[in-house]
Structure 1
Amino acid sequence: MYNVGLIGWRGMVGSVLLRRMHEEGDVKKINLLLFSVSHAGKSVTVICGQKEKKILNALDLNILKTLDIIICCAGDDYTKNIYFKLRNINWKGYWLDSSSFIRTLEDSLIILDPINKKRIYQSVKNGIKTFASGNCVVNLMLMSLSGLLREDLIRWISVSTYQSISGAGSTAITRFIRQIQEMSEILYANCNHRSNLILSSEKEFLFCIRKYSKYLEHPLFFDAVPWIGKDDVIRDGRTSEEWKIQYETNKILGYNEKNAIPINSTCVRVSSIRCHSQSFIVKLKKNVPIEEIEKILKKNNKWINIITNKKKRTLKQLSQTNVMGTLDINVGRIRKTKIGEKYLSLFSVGDQLLWGSAEPLRRMLKILLDHL
């Protein structure tokens, strides 16, 4: 069996990945070792019914260099600290990562095998050893539009994202839940009579919003945050998250500056726990009827569900709660715009912890095991 180390297994992406590896039987094919910086030396049972595992030190290069494959979900800081140290001591293993840092390396490949499987297999054959799961929004966008991309129908894309709190990490979710709890207690503490409920709620609501303005750079409860990404990486007015959409999409597709698909984006954080929604305007290279577009989208991706543009089905199925915890990508509100017949409008929703990060890593592990 190959030695596979998982770092960051306690976090949002890592815990989902570990669960999926057990569900799909991947752990039976490998010697899985768990690593941590803060919990090294402890023994834990990570999956109910499984034997205890001893947690190894994620900073110990002597242990890490014995691994055939490392899967890292610990974030940019850890990766920047350890990755080059390992490579510099001539470690020849495969590094799989969910961090944005690895995606920018010239000798890395961003993996999303339903989209770029041929490039993945060719890269493995050519000796590439470093792979990264793409940005969550990028992955979900490409999965949603994969049929149109395969048919080479897209001239450019304009997208507005509605991204969940899980994209900001487990700490963000904990704070969000605390906001809900404490705000609810304050709102109803002095509202014993229905007659004063509205006025009292309005006053206390404003108080709570201002109180929690320190969390995540902006309150999340009952709000939308129109900035995602670092404040020191702005490129021609885009946030770092919006820059990633353009850069990573074209890197996954293997496009260079000459044939890159132009992508305009506005990224917003909303009060959803786990799923991302996206609203697209796509300029097509030619006029294609809606019925044909729906067939193209569906036939190229078995995880796509086309939701007809009717109110009842849209409200029931084009929602984040409908796809949460599944690999489904629901696409609806498909229609032509008033701009012209080549301009397509559509809306998609998917689980950002699955296709957005964990699932591409799990599937890449399987590809490597088959290759080895």
Structure 2
Amino acid sequence: MGYKVAVVGATGNVGREMLNILAEREFPLDDIAAVASPRSQGSEIEMGETGKMLKVNNIEHFDFSGWDMALFAAGSGPTRLFAPKAAEAGCTVIDNSSLYRMDPDVPLIVPEVNPDAIDGYKAKNIIANPNCSTAQMMVALKPLHDAATIKRVVVSTYQSVSGAGKGGMDELFEQSRAIFVGDPKENQVFTKQIAFNVIPHIDVFLDDGSTKEEWKMVVETKKILDPKIKVTATCVRVPVFVGHSESINIEFEKELSAKDAQKILRDAPGCMLVDKREDEGYVTPVECVGDSATYISRIREDATVENGLNIWCVSDNLRKGAALNAVQIAELLGRKHLQKG
């Protein structure tokens, strides 16, 4: 027997990717529903590459009773309205927005990192998916933390425009075209020109000068991995369509050589090590698109601290950073709590 699953926000970038991954991973389904805003009602969307077309349901009229899980990719506004209704109807919500991540009664899960935390989902019948940049970093850091105990992390991100949705991707394309043909450039999604530029500003500014995106990486790392880890982040939007990159400096309590780190990460779940000290011996965002792995390259020792390493981390943010992680949570939930058969 399979599960009845609703994908909420099914017409967006992440929602479509959720449908793709459910099909790709052959998630056991008895029924699947595509749910979105009223303006998408009645339109059709394909279930991955299966050829199966789903008619989109209006979120305002959708009855979650009898559905096992709802994968929410609708943003904090609609989630605030409809996730509690779904949860109260007995449908377990797996939410991709930031709304519930720091709620102490809602587990924040990266399945390769803290699978046992999912046991707390019954408090609200809601499970949170972490920020895209946090998710890939956790996959890379967990095995290293287990080996040598991380004290401090300094991370700089290079985040693709797909993290800002379809509008961000369209803006990069239109601005690039405008530059080539000499048309005026307009900023609508981003605060400054994104084409051929980088913007050290993602989400709103906080009182201490950091942005909310940077704050998320700090607090989510502590909740998922270890509250004792000190984290500082600088998050930057770059003119890449899909794929987030991170330069991560790690300080450990115990000694860990670059060679030992390579061995650990080579066998770690969710990780793919590509680390040759030669031309093309590393992974870039273009190469990770459509892949489920978190790629790790450029592992080297940091001589400025007693026990330090630098690593380069790349992942498809629409997959591991959002849709794939949500589906993996659904798989974990099914195995541990919603077994059918």
User: TM-score, normalised on structure 2?
Assistant: 0.91
Cα displacement string for residues 333-364 of structure 1 (whole angstroms, at most 9, x for unaligned residues): 22222313412122111111111111111112
Which runs of 5 or more residues in structure 2 are unaligned?
Answer: none
RMSD (CA atoms): 2.1
**In structure 1, the residue corresponding to 2:194 is in which secondary structure?**
coil
**2:212 corresponds to which of 230, 235, 240:** 240
| Residue number in structure 2 paired with 1:97 | 95
Hey, which of these two has a bigger chunk of helix by percent? 1
| Residue number in structure 2 paired with 1:320 | 285
C-alpha change, 1:282 and 1:52, in structure 2 (3 Å) is: closer
**In structure 2, the residue corresponding to 1:241 is in which secondary structure?**
helix
Contact 2:21/2:48 (CA < 8 Å) preserved in 1? no
| Residue number in structure 2 paired with 1:119 | 117
Contact 2:96/2:129 (CA < 8 Å) preserved in 1? yes
| Residue number in structure 1 paired with 2:312 | 347
| Residue number in structure 1 paired with 2:323 | 358
**In structure 1, the residue corresponding to 2:151 is in which secondary structure?**
strand
**In structure 2, the residue corresponding to 1:109 is in which secondary structure?**
coil
Residue identity matched to 1:153? T
Contact 1:166/1:273 (CA < 8 Å) preserved in 2? yes
Q: Does 1:168 align with 2:164?
A: yes
Shift in Å, 1:303:
2.8
Contact 1:145/1:297 (CA < 8 Å) preserved in 2? no
**2:192 corresponds to which of 210, 218, 236:** 218
C-alpha change, 1:292 and 1:216, in structure 2 (3 Å) is: same
Contact 2:200/2:237 (CA < 8 Å) preserved in 1? yes
Cα displacement string for residues 74-108 of structure 1 (whole angstroms, at most 9, x for unaligned residues): 11111112223455xx4232011100012122221
Contact 1:95/1:129 (CA < 8 Å) preserved in 2? yes
**In structure 2, the residue corresponding to 1:156 is in which secondary structure?**
strand
Q: Does 1:36 align with 2:57?
A: no
**In structure 2, the residue corresponding to 1:364 is in which secondary structure?**
helix
Distance 2:221 2:132 in 1: 11
**In structure 1, the residue corresponding to 2:320 is in which secondary structure?**
helix
Shift in Å, 1:48:
5.0
**1:154 corresponds to which of 135, 150, 167:** 150
**In structure 2, the residue corresponding to 1:277 is in which secondary structure?**
strand
Distance 2:289 2:210 in 1: 29
C-alpha change, 1:213 and 1:302, in structure 2 (3 Å) is: closer
| Residue number in structure 2 paired with 1:200 | none
Contact 2:105/2:120 (CA < 8 Å) preserved in 1? no
Contact 1:144/1:304 (CA < 8 Å) preserved in 2? no
Count of equivalent residues: 335
Q: Percent identity?
A: 26
Contact 2:7/2:18 (CA < 8 Å) preserved in 1? no
| Residue number in structure 2 paired with 1:202 | none
Q: Does 1:138 align with 2:134?
A: yes
C-alpha change, 1:48 and 1:283, in structure 2 (3 Å) is: closer
Which runs of 5 or more residues in structure 1 are unaligned?
Answer: 188-207
Cα displacement string for residues 140-169 of structure 1 (whole angstroms, at most 9, x for unaligned residues): 111122211222421100011110001111
The 4+ residue runs of structure 1 with deviation greater than 4 A are: 43-49
C-alpha change, 1:281 and 1:244, in structure 2 (3 Å) is: same
Contact 2:20/2:49 (CA < 8 Å) preserved in 1? no
| Residue number in structure 1 paired with 2:74 | 74
**In structure 2, the residue corresponding to 1:99 is in which secondary structure?**
coil
- The structure having more radius of gyration, on CA atoms, is 1
Residue identity matched to 1:240? K
Distance 1:362 1:283 in 2: 32
Q: Does 1:20 align with 2:17?
A: no
